[in-house]
Structure 1
Amino acid sequence: MEIEVLDSRNSKVVAKCNVKSTTTIKDLKTQVHSSNKKLHPHRQAFRLEVKGKMLKDSDTMESLNLRSGSKLYIKDLGPQIGWSTVFLAEYAGPLLVYLWIYQRPWLFYGDSSAEISQTAHIAAACWTIHYAKRLLETIFVHRFSHATMPLRNLFKNCIYYWGFAAYVAYHVNHPQFTSPCMTQVYIALGGFLISELGNLSIHINLRNLRPPGTSIRKIPVADANPLTALFNFVSCPNYTYEFLAWLSFSILTQCLPAFVFALAGVFQMAVWALGKHRNYKKEFKDYPKCRKAIIPFIL
């Protein structure tokens, strides 16, 4: 049977593809690419209607109730870049920026002989632990359901992460930085380390849910690791632990820019978590009703 592929912007015919009932959207993307080399499969998004929901690569013509003469709408997502590349750029930048400012370069502070406080040293170690962990997770742990993302997001995300790294580092490493009492520092350091371990535990748990080379989705549940028990209360405990880590860092440094970074982060993560929470409930009819999105019993 023949399917017409129309441009979602102007409804012009992009391609006419011969398909079978078992042909998937992924297969269709390959056909469209063969007739239009500009439209790489990763740039294509298919919908049943102009502003409808994006179809999954695994959807078949039969599952979508398509017949000969049916129409599908395609959107060009623009230039793409691999998720791993994006994450590496996002996380390597803040690490390098922070450690550079940690050295108190003349460009930021002029000539200063003031000693770097113990708290600033601990903060630099925490910052390094977090972003080094994220880099290693990107390389060895994460399995991405989508291979690419729009290239424009790389610049937006790097400005956010790199900019906040400079903002926080400048104040924490300033010669006039005043440390809170060391009891507060060490308690907050404990909270930071536990949160980082919790975040890593959740990422490993999520990785184990998805076999290599697939986009299979399952209901995430706690495993034998006690730090994954947060799955009993929220859908996205990785975000919960991430916020707790930056809240602990903020308490450790008692620095306003660090609190601003933590609040900006939890706001964005809450948006992501709420979206994932809704998708989980739609996709899985037996999804636990007691779970919240990111903050237990609240949100």
Structure 2
Amino acid sequence: MTTLKVSSRIPKKPIKKLPTSIKITDKTTVQDVKEQLAKPGHWDPERLGIYDSSKKLLKDRKAIMSQQESVMADEELLVKDLGPQLSWTTVFVIEYLGPILINLAVPLFLRPYIYRAAAPLSPSQYIAMAMIVAHFLKREYETLYVHRFSLATMPMFNIFKNCGHYWFLSGFNLAYWIYAPSSYTSDSSPTIDKLNIVGIALYLFGEISNFHTHVTLSKLRSKGGTEKGIPKGYGFDLVTCPNYFFELIAWTGVLFVTRSWATVLFMGAAWGQMHLWAVKKEKALRKEFPDTYKKKKHVIVPFVG
């Protein structure tokens, strides 16, 4: 059994009733340590971030503490209050719910109150509504039944940031312009044109392929586990994150149907954020698997970036 000193990562903001030391065994995990530290002050264990002396956060909650060389060298833990937490599942369900409700409410119920003249929805507008709502329903399903998160929670503040992105850009932004009586989608032919058909084909290919890659990623980790692996197979030999590439293809399909700058705006913002995540993922894979990971030059779009 080993005794570790416990200190506040931010001395000016001490944590109430934080123990000055704890004892660990060869089987004590990071999560076990969090629960020990939280018990005296009746804290939510997920609020407590555990750091080594270099102030690096120990993210793997199932890691064995005695195997963390950076901690054992100094025999000291640094602890920080990360603030109120929400589960990743809760945050994702709420952020995706916004676009679903908004893209149903505006075209089906609110158009007479938003626009002065509200002619019936055109076929293209119905198709666009179905594509957008189906996309986010798929995301809800994946959140509940496919994705496996290495971290249990995220700061509660993230729900406002995430909802701001999804509820505004893919909710109000798309709904207001796409379902407007004066939009290109509204003025299109009453029949389904060739561009609609191409858009639907791209959308279905992108969504199905995106789902396939998410299933592949989920199989790298056991349920409730935090282990990491190298994703291989469909799309992963071309770019770091083919799931992002296929999502962009799906939204290109939506763009072909809507032909709206609102869709371009959402896609541009999404691509920018996904590119940052993909670059980070590529760096992480190179660092974690230096001898076995095949480095990728392009992180999202083959031969582009």
Using the size of structure 2 for normalisation, the TM-score is: 0.89
Alignment of 1:1-299 (within 5 A): 1-10=2-11, 14-15=18-19, 16-38=21-43, 40-49=44-53, 51-57=55-61, 58-64=63-69, 66-67=71-72, 70-103=75-108, 104-110=110-116, 112-164=117-169, 165-179=171-185, 182-222=193-233, 229-285=234-290, 286-290=292-296, 292-299=298-305
1:90 maps to amino acid: E
Q: Deviations over 1:98-121 (max 9, x none)?
A: 1111124333113x3523211111
Cα distance 1:126–1:46, how it changes in 2: closer, same or farther (>3 A)?
Answer: same
Q: Deviations over 1:224-268 (max 9, x none)?
A: xxxxx2111112111111122122212221100110000000101
2:240, 2:298 within 8 Å by CA — same for their partners in 1?
yes
Query: C-alpha distance in 2, partners of 1:124/1:145?
Result: 33
Gaps of 5+ in 2: none
2:302 maps to amino acid: P
Cα distance 1:26–1:186, how it changes in 2: closer, same or farther (>3 A)?
Answer: same
1:250, 1:262 within 8 Å by CA — same for their partners in 2?
no
Count of residues in correspondence between the two structures = 291
1:232, 1:291 within 8 Å by CA — same for their partners in 2?
no
1:49 maps to amino acid: S
Cα distance 1:20–1:237, how it changes in 2: closer, same or farther (>3 A)?
Answer: same
How far apart are 1:74 and its partner, in Å?
1.1
How far apart are 1:283 and its partner, in Å?
0.5
- The DSSP-based 3-state class of the residue aligned with 1:231 is coil
Query: C-alpha distance in 2, partners of 1:86/1:209?
Result: 23
- The DSSP-based 3-state class of the residue aligned with 1:267 is helix
Cα distance 1:64–1:24, how it changes in 2: closer, same or farther (>3 A)?
Answer: farther
Q: In terms of mean alpha carbon deviation, does 289-298 or 190-199 score higher?
A: 289-298
Q: Deviations over 1:204-240 (max 9, x none)?
A: 1111221222111111111xxxxxx211111211111
Query: C-alpha distance in 2, partners of 1:98/1:295?
Result: 28
Query: C-alpha distance in 2, partners of 1:145/1:55?
Result: 8
- The alignment's C-alpha RMSD in Å is 2.0
Identity %: 31
Gaps of 5+ in 1: 223-228
1:141 maps to amino acid: V
Query: C-alpha distance in 1, partners of 2:97/2:138?
Result: 11
Query: C-alpha distance in 1, partners of 2:133/2:238?
Result: 29
Q: Deviations over 1:70-128 (max 9, x none)?
A: 22111211100111111111111110011111124333113x35232111111011012
Q: Deviations over 1:165-219 (max 9, x none)?
A: 1111111111111236721121111111110001111111111221222111111
How far apart are 1:50 and its partner, in Å?
5.5
Match of 1:226 in 2: none
Query: C-alpha distance in 1, partners of 2:184/2:34?
Result: 58
Using the size of structure 1 for normalisation, the TM-score is: 0.90
How far apart are 1:21 and its partner, in Å?
4.1
Query: C-alpha distance in 1, partners of 2:262/2:71?
Result: 54
1:168, 1:257 within 8 Å by CA — same for their partners in 2?
yes
- The DSSP-based 3-state class of the residue aligned with 1:5 is strand
Query: C-alpha distance in 1, partners of 2:118/2:34?
Result: 61
1:218 maps to amino acid: G
Query: C-alpha distance in 2, partners of 1:220/1:74?
Result: 33
